[in-house]
Amino acid sequence: MTDQDRQRAMDFIVEQQAKNSVAIDKLIESQHKAELRFERDEFRLDRDERILKLMVKAGRRERRTRSEAEERLTKALAALAESQAHADSRLDALIDIVRQQRNGGSQSFESC
């Protein structure tokens, strides 16, 4: 191998090392950017998980509140129905009294 061949081989090796060094630098930069994206995405995911947990808690709280309100409404409607039935029976009794008085009064007018 001549000096010129050795020089060409060394130049080739140096050139390849320079290319590899540039490629490695690009890979390192790309890796750094990927790590930043990962950290940002991880932060977003953590935030989204916290938001989702709050939404689940709010949903459960709302379901419990609605269930309690529905129970109160059911009891109130039952009480109202009972009260309505009592009022209906009292109204029926009043109607019967009025009819008896009219029937009794009309009979007394007819006999006169």
The whole-number pLDDT of residue 109 equals: 44
Closest to 82 in 3D by CA, of 74, 70, 94: 74
The whole-number pLDDT of residue 88 equals: 94
Segment 55-88, tens digit of pLDDT = 999 999 999 999 999 999 999 999 999 999 999 9
| Amino acid sitting at position 22 | V
The whole-number pLDDT of residue 105 equals: 60
Query: Over pLDDT 90: what percentage of the chain?
Result: 88
Closest to 75 in 3D by CA, of 65, 67, 86: 67
pTM over 0.75: no
Segment 22-64, tens digit of pLDDT = 999 999 999 999 999 999 999 999 999 999 999 999 999 999 9
